[in-house]
Amino acid sequence: MRKIGVVTSGGDAPGMNAAIRAIVRTAIPKKLEVLGFKRGFAGLLNNDVKPLGLRTVGGIIHLGGTILRTERCPKFATEEGIERASEVLKSNKVDALIVIGGDGSFKGALKLHEASGIQVIGIPATIDNDVVGTETTIGFDTAVNTAIQAIDRIRDTAMSHGRVFVVEVMGRKRGFLALEVGLTAGAEVILVPEIKRDIDSVCETLIRSRKKEKEYSIVVVAEGFGNSTSLVKEIAEKTGFEIRLTILGHIQRGGSPTARSRLIASLFSSYAVEKILESDESGVVGLQNGKVIFNSLEFVNKEYKPLNTELLQLAEDLAI
Amino acid sequence: MRKIGVVTSGGDAPGMNAAIRAIVRTAIPKKLEVLGFKRGFAGLLNNDVKPLGLRTVGGIIHLGGTILRTERCPKFATEEGIERASEVLKSNKVDALIVIGGDGSFKGALKLHEASGIQVIGIPATIDNDVVGTETTIGFDTAVNTAIQAIDRIRDTAMSHGRVFVVEVMGRKRGFLALEVGLTAGAEVILVPEIKRDIDSVCETLIRSRKKEKEYSIVVVAEGFGNSTSLVKEIAEKTGFEIRLTILGHIQRGGSPTARSRLIASLFSSYAVEKILESDESGVVGLQNGKVIFNSLEFVNKEYKPLNTELLQLAEDLAI
Amino acid sequence: MRKIGVVTSGGDAPGMNAAIRAIVRTAIPKKLEVLGFKRGFAGLLNNDVKPLGLRTVGGIIHLGGTILRTERCPKFATEEGIERASEVLKSNKVDALIVIGGDGSFKGALKLHEASGIQVIGIPATIDNDVVGTETTIGFDTAVNTAIQAIDRIRDTAMSHGRVFVVEVMGRKRGFLALEVGLTAGAEVILVPEIKRDIDSVCETLIRSRKKEKEYSIVVVAEGFGNSTSLVKEIAEKTGFEIRLTILGHIQRGGSPTARSRLIASLFSSYAVEKILESDESGVVGLQNGKVIFNSLEFVNKEYKPLNTELLQLAEDLAI
Amino acid sequence: MRKIGVVTSGGDAPGMNAAIRAIVRTAIPKKLEVLGFKRGFAGLLNNDVKPLGLRTVGGIIHLGGTILRTERCPKFATEEGIERASEVLKSNKVDALIVIGGDGSFKGALKLHEASGIQVIGIPATIDNDVVGTETTIGFDTAVNTAIQAIDRIRDTAMSHGRVFVVEVMGRKRGFLALEVGLTAGAEVILVPEIKRDIDSVCETLIRSRKKEKEYSIVVVAEGFGNSTSLVKEIAEKTGFEIRLTILGHIQRGGSPTARSRLIASLFSSYAVEKILESDESGVVGLQNGKVIFNSLEFVNKEYKPLNTELLQLAEDLAI
């Protein structure tokens, strides 16, 4: 019998539990033993491990967060950390490690694979959708829906007061979340870290909207675009409009995963287990053209995922 | 200036309003005039028409149902109906008609196109996802999420009482909804109209689940599988378990569209308008391999959309 | 040190877990030991018991259902059952038993108290709100909100199709849920078991609504009013309207408790523990004029809780 | 025939539309004409008025915000403003004005009544619940539920990371919202503007929680308690814990009203209309001991509404 390890790493994302469930439920019938390392790489370094059985993962498909816990672990990135992790995996006789996490976690995954020779497979789970080589990640669809539901509430107040609302969504470096939230919430303006945009042109759009008898406007801004508080102040000064800022914050991270996040989690995870059964190749699972595919760890760590600027254009066209 | 007509037809689906909005907002800047026919084909026959402007479609992206209303219209299917519809479209100088609806509506769309020569473009919007040539339809993702949220509530009672629950979801002829709901709700058994399944084997699965210390079980059944009340009775008799039936019914049809339903609506609709601008080809918009594509009306009316049996197998594997 | 037992009984209701938490958290600091009997009176008869500690009840305030499980137990109502329960309680050295449940459970509670002499305190938890001597019960507010959210979805379809929808809510004998749901969902007609109403007069109301340019109507009916399927058929025949029936069913029972259900649970439970500390009186906690009060078991088992007919009148007046 | 005016004033609150509906629907059958003034007192000063009919208020009971709009209006508070408002009301032949709003709006209501002699009736609608003489206000229950649902999402992340989360809820001067949110979300610490609390004692509670093996903690703080960012920084420094701040902001204000907010709106509004029919007394509607009552405008403007400190104690006791 072969053994696989599972770890959830980085920020939690809704659907991580559905992924853990799918790994365990597809692995065990194939005679793989599954060990769960708790609290991300931090737990891996401390050999904080427990076996995962078929019933351990029962009744969790709909739960947000991760039953394995997660933690940021700066020590892991060090040479010493990687070495310690290799030892722990080997002492537990782990043949392959599945890392459920985001961009940062896959950096560690590559180093660990290179240092230990152990097969390491990444499953992209992050609300930021910033993993290259995949169209979507576990948790992204949930976060988008959480954000637009929040904006639907804010819309009531925006309409009632005839106000402009600026809504800051997560995304320190990338604007995937802001873009999809902005498009589906019907925002007048979407501001992303990837594209510099002049505040004057934002003001013009808002003034033009007002002239077209739009009684309220919504601006969606990724946290990485700049300082939202200053942004709001500047727009208010330049337009004379009453503007309110809402920072959605951590509510975007939690909650029961949507159907799509659960589905993606199930597809990615069963694919990862199959991969382990049929080869010792390391890599990261992804979705391309609607199909589950496999990218190398090197590719995922090196390449840059472009933002869909056509979608951004569409969003602006639709907010006319 | 050219004129396009828009009609929502058949059962309503969440995202129809987002589609209407996207049609109007992409058409008007391209100098197309947009007329909305109310109450589906019934309103078309009665020339129940109003112009749709940029502001008419403001503040509706998040609303369920359809501002154009919809109605079943048996008369439309007749030769006389089709002729009358052609006249109405011509008297309104409509160059192209966009039909937002499902399978049944596209039958009428083809006939109307053949009889009138007018360009007719279908946009698939149905919670059933039963349109061939597209991976998804407007409203499907919303209905799946509504259903799994309902099942998450039922799970509380199932767990507390240690019961088996049978949940009937919509789908008179096809099991797409049941399949995706069952997979993402973690159902033990999924019953669809396309696949005959012996009740004895269902009972065996449930008994096996109980033996594996699963304290409750959920069976998802499409309404077209058979009579759910008889099904529950038969399972109860054969297993001796306490079983409850919940028929989700019309709550699956309404509600604010999910992000994905709004996104698909925006993509399909802007594509339909572009198609009208660049050619006079009739057809049905769809999503294939994650990309928006175009199928002929003949194809959509003739071909059969297969159920993804691998997904069904995965669902069962994961419910072990 | 004294010992108290806790049992959740009858149908589960959202907020039962908040009640268990509040009992344990107020009892233990007062040096009371708390034993939880599982699966309602069935578990009590089987001595299925576990101690409840401060951490056992952590992270459950927001969960639907009951961590103690519940089960219908016909055997309990027998003389033999009551005797067995007395023995189990005494063998566990339980000084007082808290029964979290509904009307039926308090019948058993009285018998048990009479037979054993043990202090028994009832905490009303049922989505039916059919316990006399209290204005509300744990779970009622949640069920009302679940039902009106479902009706808000149905409203989308009702509006889009211009249809009449009949929505059946729980309530085999009493109409408290139907009344509050109907009033707050803006239903045109509310049908409850307590008040006979002629189908002809229902039809008149619906026809009058249609004439007043109401484009759709919603009828809320308690399951105990009669056979809803026949009702719908009869109304359809007499009015000629297209009518749809939705039976909300078990989704009303589950889900995360609302703030009010959690608050009532906390107030009732802390009061119950105080009562145990200060006297050996048995009885049922309740809310009267917005204050927590205490009724005798005899009163709760004998008296009839009237329906607020003024509220019913108001609901009809508002649906004009 | 007599005429009444209606205005929604101050910040919007969920249930304002249900109140407008109930006023119109109870007034018109009693031969009262109803005029709606738009955009709060600002619209009143500008004679921005429209008649409200039975159908105008159809299909709005479930909508957040206010169809009459609202706006802050500093000019209204001036002598000149009050005089202008009197003129507008008299020129419209308004016999009584219903003001749906909060604390601040009732200041204006009293002045207006004193200056014009017109009957003015206040209906408390504010998510802050800071109106004296009433146990609850329209919108309060909705805001509490919105906040606890947000916290339930945050809990997923708090649990997964084993973190302390500080959640800031609305309430610049008063802590009613923070208190009820904190109690029903199971917060370890609740900080309100009315009660000074030493940061050291907060830290002690959090450290004690950690020692009791509570893996995460939630602190609910009203915005008026102090600067939340500084608070978080100070706690982090003193405890060494990883702490995150989430400011819920405007999502608390919007959304579909809960059943209770709709019910309170219906009860308050029908009572207000009855009051107008039977007397020319001015005052503010309220709920006391679960019954609808009437307070004088003077009382509501003069008295101070105490915070329920017993409830605060209970919340802390339950978070042990």
Contact D213 C55 (CB under 8 A): yes
Single out the residue of B43, B73, B68, B45 nearest to residue B56, CA to CA: B68
In sequence order, what are the beta bridge partners of C7?
C37, C99
pLDDT at D146 over 70: yes
Q: Which of A60, A181, A184 to mutate to test the interface with B (most CBs of B within 10 A)?
A: A184
B128 with B172, same domain: the answer is: no
DSSP, collapsed to helix, strand or coil, labels residue D129 as coil
Q: What is the pLDDT of residue B72?
A: 85
pTM for the predicted model, two decimal places: 0.97
Q: Kindly state whether residues C90 and C130 are assigned to the same domain.
A: yes
Q: Environment class of residue D230 by beta-carbon count within 10 Å: exposed (0-12), middle (13-18) or buried (19+)?
A: exposed
What is the strand order of the sheet A32-37 is part of?
A: A49-51, A32-37, A2-8, A96-101, A119-124, A283-288, A291-295
Residues D265 and D226 both lie in one domain:
no
In percent, the amount of chain D with pLDDT more than 90 equals 96
Comparing C-alpha atoms, which of A97, A26, A24 is closest to residue A55?
A24
Give residue A43's region: left, alpha or beta (phi > 0; psi -120 to 50): alpha
With CB atoms and an 8 Å threshold, state whether D317 touches C159.
no
Same domain, residue pair D11 and D95: yes
pLDDT score of C212 more than 90 = no
Are residue A205 and residue A265 in the same domain, yes or no? Answer: no
Is D278 found in the same domain as D224? no
Alpha-carbon distance of B218 to D253, in angstroms, equals 37
CA distance C320 to chain D (A): 7
Does residue D224 sit in the same domain as residue D290? no
Q: How many residues does chain B have?
A: 320
Alpha-carbon distance of A158 to B62, in angstroms, equals: 14
Considering chain A, what percentage of its residues have pLDDT values greater than 70?
A: 100
Quick check: A7 contacting D, CB < 8 Å? no
**D158-186 pLDDT, tens per residue?**
999 999 999 999 999 999 999 999 999 99
Average pLDDT over all residues of chain A: 96
Percent pLDDT > 90 in chain A is: 96
Number of H helices, E strands in chain B: 11, 11
- Chains with ≥3 CB–CB distances under 8 Å to B: A, C
Which chain C residue is nearest to residue B167, measuring alpha carbons?
A: C250
Residue B61 parent element (H or E):
none
Q: A15 vs chain B: nearest CA distance in angstroms?
A: 10
Q: What are the φ/ψ torsions at residue B71 (nearest 5 degrees)?
A: -160, 145
Q: Is residue C152 within 8 angstroms of chain B, CB to CB? A: yes
Residue C215: pLDDT band by 50, 70, 90 thresholds?
A: confident
Q: Is B128 a catalytic residue?
A: yes
Q: What is the pLDDT of residue D215?
A: 85
Q: Do C22 and D318 touch (CB under 8 A)?
A: yes
Closest CB to B259: pick one of A184, A263, A270. Answer: A184
The domain in which residue A211 lies consists of 142-253
Please report the pLDDT score of residue A1 as a whole number: 63
According to the model, what pLDDT value does residue B212 have? Answer: 87
In a domain? residue A210: yes
Q: In what order do the strands lie in the sheet with D217-222?
A: D189-191, D217-222, D164-169, D243-247
Instruction: Assess whether D56 and D168 both reside in one domain.
Output: no
CA distance A290 to C147: 37
8 A C-beta contact, residue B137 and residue B102: yes
The answer, for C53 touching chain D at a CB cutoff of 8 Å, is: no
Which chain A residue has its CA at the smallest distance from D257's CA?
A153
Is the CB of D160 less than 8 angstroms away from the CB of A65? Answer: yes
Single out the catalytic residue among A12, A103, A128, A130: A128
> pLDDT tens across D182-206, in order?
999 999 999 999 999 999 999 999 9
- Compare CB distances from C317 to D26, D144, D183 and report the shortest one's residue: D26
The alpha-carbon gap from C242 to the nearest alpha carbon of chain B, in Å, equals 11
* C239 has pLDDT over 90: yes
275-304 of B, contacting A, C-beta below 8 A: 287-291
- On whether residue C319 sits in a domain, the answer given is no
Contact B250 C153 (CB under 8 A): yes
Which CATH number fits the domain that encloses residue A205?
3.40.50.460
- Asked if D240 has any chain C CB less than 8 Å from its own CB, the reply is no
User: Any CB–CB contact under 8 A between A213 and chain B?
Assistant: yes
Boundary residue ending a domain (A194, A223, A253): A253
Beta bridge partners of B6: B36, B98
Burial class (CB in 10 A: 0-12, 13-18, 19+), C290: middle
Do C162 and B69 make contact, defined as CB atoms within 8 angstroms?
yes
| Contact (CB<8Å) C245/B246 | no
D160 interfacial to chain C (CB closer than 8 Å):
no
3-state SS, residue B41: helix
Query: Position of tokens 């472009």?
Result: A306
CATH of the domain at C85: 3.40.50.450
Query: Do B141 and A260 make contact, defined as CB atoms within 8 angstroms?
Result: yes
Provide mean pLDDT across the span D280-294. Answer: 97
Find the closest chain D residue to A254 by CA distance. Answer: D153
Instruction: Tell me the shortest Cα–Cα distance from D285 to chain A, in angstroms.
Output: 23
Residue C317 lies in a domain: no
Whether the predicted pLDDT of D212 surpasses 90: no
Residues C36, C115: one domain?
yes
For residue C1, pLDDT beyond 90:
no
Res A174 pLDDT > 90: yes
- Answer yes or no: is C320 within a domain: no
The pLDDT score that the predictor gives to residue D1 is: 62
Tell whether A11 and A81 lie within a shared domain. Answer: yes
* pLDDT confidence of residue B1: 63
pLDDT at B213: 84
Whether the predicted interface score ipTM is above 0.95: yes
On whether residue D309 sits in a domain, the answer given is no
Residues B120 and B24 grouped into a single domain:
yes
What are the backbone dihedrals phi and psi of residue B176, each rounded to the nearest 5 degrees, phi first? -60, -45
C-beta atoms of D253 and A157 within 8 A: yes
State what percent of residues in chain C have pLDDT above 90.
96
Is the residue at A309 inside a domain? no
> How many structural domains comprise chain D?
2
pLDDT digits (tens, 9 = 90+) for C120-166: 999 999 999 999 999 999 999 999 999 999 999 999 999 999 999 99
Scanning A162-191 for CB atoms below 8 A from B yields 180-181, 183-186
Q: How many inter-chain contacts (B to C, CB under 8 Å) are there?
A: 109
Q: Closest Cα to residue B160, out of C4, C146, C72, C103?
A: C72
In chain C, residues with a C-beta closer than 8 Å to the C-beta of B261 are: none
Within a domain: residue D318? no
CB-based burial label for A251 (10 Å; 0-12, 13-18, 19+): buried
State whether D185 and C155 contact (CB < 8 Å).
no
CA of A259 vs chain B CAs: smallest distance (Å): 6
For chains A and B, count residue pairs whose Cβ atoms are closer than 8 Å: 121
Mean pLDDT of A228-256: 95
Among C16, C155, C245, beta carbon nearest to B254: C155
Domain-located, residue A230: yes
pLDDT digits (tens, 9 = 90+) for D45-95: 999 999 999 999 999 999 999 999 999 888 998 999 999 999 999 999 999
Kindly report each contact of residues D192-197 with a partner whose C-beta sits within 8 Å and lies 24 or more positions away, as own/partner. D192/D222, D192/D224, D192/D225, D192/D307, D192/D312, D193/D222, D193/D224, D193/D225, D194/D307, D195/D307, D195/D309, D195/D312
**CA distance, residue B152 to nearest chain A CA (Å):** 7
Over chain B (320 residues), what is each successive 10-residue block's mean pLDDT? 93 97 98 97 96 96 96 90 97 98 95 97 98 98 98 94 95 97 98 96 95 92 97 97 94 96 98 97 97 98 97 96
Which phi and psi angles does D4 have, rounded to 5°? -120, 150
Same domain? For D158 and D205 the reply is yes
Distance from CA of A12 to the nearest CA of D (A): 6
- The encoded tokens of residue D9 equal 């004033």
Asked if B148's CB is within 8 angstroms of A262's CB, the reply is yes
Do the Cβ atoms of D318 and C159 come within 8 Å?
no
> What confidence tens digit (pLDDT) does each residue in A69-120 have?
999 888 998 999 999 999 999 999 999 999 999 999 999 999 999 999 999 9
Question: Under an 8 A CB cutoff, do B148 and A213 touch?
Answer: no
> Of C152, C213, C317, which has the smallest distance from its Cβ to D62's Cβ?
C152
Which positions of C are annotated as active-site residues?
A: 128
In 3D space, the residue among A257, A140, A253, A77 whose CA is nearest the CA of residue D244 turns out to be A253
Q: Minimum mean pLDDT among B210-214, C52-56, C177-181, D302-306: which range?
A: B210-214
pLDDT at site C206: 96
Residues 13-32 of C with CB under 8 A from B: 14, 16
CB C44 within 8 A of CB C88: yes
